Amino acid sequence: MTLKVCTSLLLLFLANSVWTRTVRQVYDDLDPEHWSHYTSECPRECFCPPSFPNALYCDNKGLKEIPAIPARIWYLYLQNNLIETVSEKPFVNATHLRWINLNKNKITNSGIESGVLSKLKKLLYLFLEDNELEEVPAPLPVGLEQLRLARNKISRIPEGVFSNLENLTMLDLHQNSLLDSALQSDTFQGLNNLMQLNIAKNSLKKMPLSIPANTLQLFLDNNSIEVIPENYFSAIPKVTFLRLNYNKLSDDGIPPNGFNVSSILDLQLSHNQLTKIPPINAHLEHLHLDHNKIKSVNGTQMCPVSIALAEDYGLYGNTPRLRYLRLDGNEIQPPIPLDVMICFRLLQAVVI
């Protein structure tokens, strides 16, 4: 289980660097005599580095529209411009595009020509952060692996927009205008391989419905969530990293074993309204509870196994795995009780 999780996360975290190896392979095979040909194809507004013949850099140029993209381009950088429209014409020859960065422009949904994105059959990464979108653009390329839509004005997710995106591993919707009503029971249907879902900094009051079952990382920071439904995490049995910082969770809003989930290794509940430490699982490794209203720590109650058993476990036995515990910003007075240290033999850091 741990090996599979680590392998999946490694693939996710290194996705942004995979393209450089591919580009360098192309560069190694490129005859320097052909550099002049590639330079002549380059749009005059952009930069085409001879060392990366499949990349086109048009970022920070004050562009108001997308120039014609040469057929050889795989990686297209258009961030930090004034682009308002995405039309089909510039992409007529660009049938091999894998990566498009359109962050920090002025793109609206009405400015995206119908069907233009879905026609980019080989596109894997689409970045549209910091634009003027009010809903998730549709239709999208079916092979997409990462979709980043942070810091827009998105309040609506069209029905079925994700239904064919079976390869998508990352969906970033943080810092938008999503309400609970925008997330229906079938909103994420079809995202069978999703590993990271980021819906932080929206306007949610409830835990979102029907999170894809393979999700490993769920980020819900900076919402207004008050309640964790009973058995909520049984539907996402692989969730490993859970962030619920800056919400409105109280003791009454958490079921008795709401976070006693064996898959969760990193649990972040900072800046909520908890007065006691919720029950945790012995597999948990990192626990963030800073800036709540917790007044005391009772190791006997907090320990996921009995203290007697914890004392009997050797250093390399089945002892609880907690390694990092953050409790600062509460009303707790040091020192940490001895029974906490007896229970959590692997603790490396306690912040109080």
The 10s digit of each residue's pLDDT in 201-251 is 999 999 999 999 999 999 999 999 999 999 999 999 999 999 999 999 999
| Nearest by Cα to 337 from 230, 325, 80 | 325
| Nearest by Cα to 228 from 212, 204, 194 | 204
* β-pair partners for 4: none
How does pLDDT run across 273-301, given as a tens digit for each residue?
A: 999 999 999 999 999 999 999 999 998 89
Instruction: Specify whether the CB–CB gap between 60 and 81 falls below 8 A.
Output: yes
Instruction: Specify whether the CB–CB gap between 190 and 169 falls below 8 A.
Output: no
**13: which 2 tokens?**
């975290």
> Which domains does the chain show, CATH number per domain?
48-132 (3.80.10.10)
CA distances for 26 relative to 36, 103, 121, angstroms: 16, 26, 21
**233: which 2 tokens?**
């995490």
Q: What is the pLDDT of residue 19?
A: 41
Q: Is the omega angle on the peptide bond into residue 139 within 30 degrees of 0, that is, cis?
A: yes
Mean pLDDT, residues 85-112 taken together = 97
Q: What is the pLDDT of residue 39?
A: 57
Confidence of residue 33 (pLDDT cuts 50, 70, 90): very low
Mean pLDDT, residues 76-98 taken together = 97
Give the chain's end-to-end CA distance (angstroms, integer). 32
Instruction: Specify whether the CB–CB gap between 237 and 214 falls below 8 A.
Output: no
Q: What is the pLDDT of residue 268?
A: 98
